[in-house]
Amino acid sequence: MEFCPDCGAMLMPSNGKVKCRCGYEKSLTNDDIEEQYHMEGEKNPEMKVIVTDKNNVALPTTTITCYKCGGTKGYWWTVQTRSADEAPTNFIRCANCGNTWRSSN
Ligand SMILES: [Zn+2]
Ligand SMILES: [Zn+2]
């Protein structure tokens, strides 16, 4: 990714050049082009949110203290809220009684 030295805007690659809306343009070398290509690939990995059926998937286990039954083994999973701005929410389920709650962290 390159930025315009004149106005600081993001430069858009186009036909072997990068162009800015202010009129600045620069020819790309093959190295530049390759760099752009690699960065694209790294910036856009296939982000797959794992949506689990919470009832029949082997969830990772953790040590808990269930406030209902006092059980110490629990399952946990993460739910990404619809807004990507918000942190994912962790849920914990007691393996003993099925009590489910949000993790405080
Ligand atoms: Zn510019
Ligand atoms: Zn419990």
What is the pLDDT at residue 89?
A: 85
Name the domain count of the chain. Answer: 2
Is 87 a domain residue? Answer: yes
Name the residue type at position 80: Q
Does residue 67 carry a pLDDT above 90?
yes
Ligand with smallest separation from the Cα of 5: 1
What is the pLDDT at residue 45?
A: 45
What is the pLDDT at residue 88?
A: 84
What is the layout of strands, in order, in the sheet containing 100-102? 61-63, 73-79, 89-94, 100-102
Is 53 a domain residue? Answer: no
Assess contact for 28 and 11: CB atoms under 8 A: no
Ligand with smallest separation from the Cα of 66: 2
Residue range(s) defining the domain that contains residue 83: 61-102
What is the pLDDT at residue 44?
A: 43
Is 93 a domain residue? Answer: yes
Ligand with smallest separation from the Cα of 18: 1
Spacing, Cα 81 to ligand 2 middle (Å): 25
Task: Give the pLDDT confidence of 6-65 residue by residue, as tens digits.
Answer: 999 988 887 778 888 899 888 877 666 565 555 544 444 444 445 555 555 578 899 999
Spacing, Cα 1 to ligand 1 middle (Å): 14
Report field, pTM of the whole predicted structure over 0.75:
no
Is 56 a domain residue? Answer: no
Ligand with smallest separation from the Cα of 9: 1
Is 85 a domain residue? Answer: yes
Backbone angles phi, psi at 52, to 5 degrees: -105, 150
One domain for residues 38 and 65:
no
Q: Which residue has the higher pLDDT, 52 or 92?
A: 92
Alpha carbons 20 and 96: distance in angstroms, whole number: 61
Is 19 a domain residue? Answer: yes
